[in-house]
Structure 1
Amino acid sequence: MTFLSILFALLFEQLKPLRADNPVYGGIKQMAARMEASFNAGQEGHGRMAWIAVMLILLVPTLAIYWVCAKISPLLALAWNILVVYLTLGFRHYSHYFTSIQLALNSGDEAAARSLLAEWTRQDTTGLGVNDISRMAVEKALVTTHRNVFGVFFWFAMPLGPAGAIMYRVAEYLARAWNEPEHLKNEPFGRFAARAFYWIDWVPARLTAIAFAVVGNFEDAIYAWRNFAHRWQDEAIGIILSAGGGAMGLRLGTARENAADVPVADAAAVDTTGIEPETPPGEEATVRALQSTVGLVWRALLLWMLLLLLLSFAVWLG
């Protein structure tokens, strides 16, 4: 049922992509904002209580509905699973940004590409060249695909089923919503949400990196993962981008990210002591890297689907 649920949800999303501003997502955003306003009294414990409350409000009804559907009919339970996966997947939510940036760069319209990238990443893209635009688009695509697709796959395949998929996506959103806004940065309230998502995403992030390595350049991906992932401030993002970049032969990350916590060596010094290079190996991202990213993501998706199919067969035969 896991494989069929994901397969049909992916097919439905290809036919009718769910908008990023749909009412379901809007309702969860409003709930998160209300919980923050009601619970936030400046203590980390208040954030923990708010996080647990949000999860209980969403997960208990999800499991109850699934249990009722399973009692009535397996087909009804399958339909509920498909609906939940369709709502939690985001394979096509932001693909229009990536495609539009690729088309703009191919046509030489760097201004349009910068504007689209700024809207997508919510970062200042003023003055960025083609290489930087391409690099940031690739990075955003890899991280978004992991959090909107592969992380959902993993938790949906766990015993919680549809509740696991919802838990993952909501935990990812709360980690952002309660830490990134200006009035919540460095506030104790959001620390638990960030820590909870770190552990929830610990295994999925590494499985995504392994998938990128398997379907790409395995040796370079593993080398980059082992030697450069720690240079990103966010460990999970570092693992995904270093492995993804290595798999495609690309050098991802800004100079600051790649040099984080690493002393700057003398540029004139010759590396004869076995010290690792300051920046990951690989080429600078170009417009062609965008197409390479599409291929890597689709191959990784097919690998995940194959593994889920084998898992479903194993459960069925068992």
Structure 2
Amino acid sequence: MAFFSVLAAVALEHLRPLRQPLPYYQHYRRLTHWLERRFNAGEFSHGAIAWALAALPLLAGVWLVFVLLDGISPIFGWLWNVAVLYFTLGFKYFSTIAEQIARLLRAGDIEDARARLDAWRGGDASQFSVDELVRVTVEQVMAASHRQMFGVLFWFVLLSSLGPVGAVLFRIASILARRWENATGQFGGFSRRAFHAINWLPARLTALTYAIAGNFEDATYCWRTQASAWPEPEEGVVLAAGAGAMGILLGQGVNVGGETVWRPELGTGQAPEADCIDSAVSMIWRGLAIWLAAGLLVVIAGWTS
């Protein structure tokens, strides 16, 4: 059932991609802000309590609905899996933005490309050069493919006996780690550690997927030698492997507020061009095809055993 849930949700998300802003994410963001204001006294334990309150009731509710629907009919349980998985995915939306930025850059419309990237990443891209726009867009689309697709699918399949709990767990952990990243004191420490633990294995599977879909030798070399220098270790694994698989250079300096902000260099080869954004999206879809093919082989093996 897990494979067919994934297949249906991916197909639905591809045909009818989610549009921003998503009302339920907006409501959840307000909840996280309220919890931070209510519980943040700068202590690690306070962050752990807030994380539990933000995550456990929702996970329990998702599981309970699955049990009730599956008890009525396995078809209803399957439909619940597909629905929740569809609303926790979202890579098609971000890949579309990346492709739009690539088209704007090829057309020479740098200002609109900056505005699209700025709205997407939530940072200042107003003074990015064309080279910086391309590099950061490729980084964003690779990171989004993991957070919005591969990581979600991994945990959904791993915890498929609990319905769509795994998909919701990964998205909640990802959201809380981002929302409370800059919280005062040690409040955000638990959310970062929780996501690190939850994200450790799927990040490496995503990196392996990029290696298989691209240049395997360069991807694994960059993964081994460069990933640890990135500020977020698991994101560094994904980006280093992706850059190596494509034979391009990511990271390096970007112009923020008139000052150069340096990031570690990832990858090998030459600086990417606008067409590399489309190439990155294509590599990610090839990676998804690899996952689906592997899942189909597992299903067929189960039928024939």
TM-score of the pair, normalised by structure 2 = 0.92
Mapped to 1, the partners of 2:72 and 2:227 lie a distance apart of: 48
> 1:307: Cα distance to partner?
1.9
Tell me the CA shift for residue 106 of structure 1: 1.1
- Over the aligned positions, Cα root-mean-square deviation in angstroms equals 1.6
Distance 1:287 1:99 in 2: 9
Aligned to 2:275: 288
Distance 2:81 2:298 in 1: 17
Q: State the Cα deviation string for residues 86-110 of structure 1 (Å, max 9, x = none).
A: 1100122323321221110111111
Q: Which residue in 2 is equivalent to 1:61?
A: 61
Q: Conserved in 1, the CA contact under 8 Å of 2:213 and 2:283? A: yes
Q: Is the 8 A contact 1:179 1:187 kept in 2?
A: no
- 5 Å-filtered alignment, 1:102-181, equals 102-159=102-159, 160-180=162-182
* Alpha-carbon distance in structure 1 between the residues aligned to 2:237 and 2:135: 16
Does structure 1 residue 192 correspond to structure 2 residue 190?
A: yes
Look up the SS of the partner of 2:138 in the other structure: helix
Question: Cα distance, 1:73 vs. partner?
Answer: 0.9
CA contact (8 A) 1:43 1:188 kept: yes
Please give the alpha-carbon distance, in whole angstroms, between the structure 2 residues aligned to 1:171 and 1:310.
30
Q: Distance in 1 between matches of 2:59 and 2:128?
A: 43
How many angstroms does 1:314 deviate by? 4.4
TM-score, normalised to structure 1, is: 0.88
User: Would you say the 8 A contact 1:42–1:189 is kept in 2?
Assistant: yes
CA distance in 2, matches of 1:311, 1:39: 45
State the Cα deviation string for residues 196-239 of structure 1 (Å, max 9, x = none): 00110000000000000001000010111111111111111111
1:36 to partner: Cα distance:
1.6
**Is this contact kept in 1: 2:77–2:163, CA < 8 A?**
no
Normalized per residue, which structure has more strand?
Answer: 2
Aligned to 2:28: 28
The 3 A distance-change label for structure 1 pair 57 and 316 is farther
Equivalent position of 2:256 in the other structure: none
Corresponding position of 1:309: 296
Aligned residue in 1 for 2:259: none
Q: Distance in 2 between matches of 1:60 and 1:239?
A: 31
**SS of equivalent residue, structure 2 residue 92:** coil
| Aligned mate of 2:244, from 246, 268, 287 | 246
Query: Hey, which bits of structure 1, 4+ residues long, moved more than 3 A?
Result: 311-318
Count of residue pairs the alignment pairs up:
295
In structure 2, the CA distance between the partners of 1:9 and 1:316, relative to structure 1 (3 Å rule), is same
Letter of the 2:251 counterpart: G
* Contact kept? 1:85, 1:165, Cα under 8 Å: yes
Of residues 220, 223, 226, the one that matches 1:222 is 220
Deviations 1:255-274 (A, max 9, x none): 53226xxxxxxxxxxxxxxx
Pairwise CA distance, 1:126: 3.2
Of stretches 113-122 and 217-226 in structure 1, the one that deviates more from structure 2 is 113-122
* 2:197 is aligned with 1:210: no
SS of residue in 2 equivalent to 1:113: helix
Q: Any conservation in 1 of the 2:131–2:273 contact (CA below 8 Å)?
A: yes
3-state SS of the aligned residue for 2:128?
Answer: coil
Give the whole-Å Cα distance in 1 for the aligned partners of 2:250 and 2:178. 22
Task: Give, in angstroms, the shift of residue 187 of structure 1.
Answer: 2.4
- SS of the residue aligned with 2:148? helix
| Distance in 2 between residues matched to 1:120 and 1:308, nearest whole Å | 32
Instruction: Report the Cα distance in structure 1 between the residues aligned to 2:268 and 2:264, rounded to whole angstroms.
Output: 11
Which residue identity is paired with 1:201? N
Kindly provide the amino acid, as one letter, of the partner of residue 7 in structure 1: L
Q: Are the equivalent residues in 2 in contact too, given 1:2–1:308 (CA < 8 A)?
A: no
Listed one character per residue, the Cα deviations across residues 11-44 of structure 1 (whole Å, up to 9, x for unaligned) are 2222322223222212221221222222222211
Comparing 288-297 with 118-127, which one deviates more in the overlay? Answer: 118-127
1:20 alignment partner, SS class = coil
SS at match of 1:127: coil
Give the drift of 1:167: 0.6
Label 1:172 to 1:21 Cα distance change in 2 as closer, same or farther (>3 A): same
Secondary structure of the equivalent of 1:117?
A: helix
Shift of 1:114: 1.5
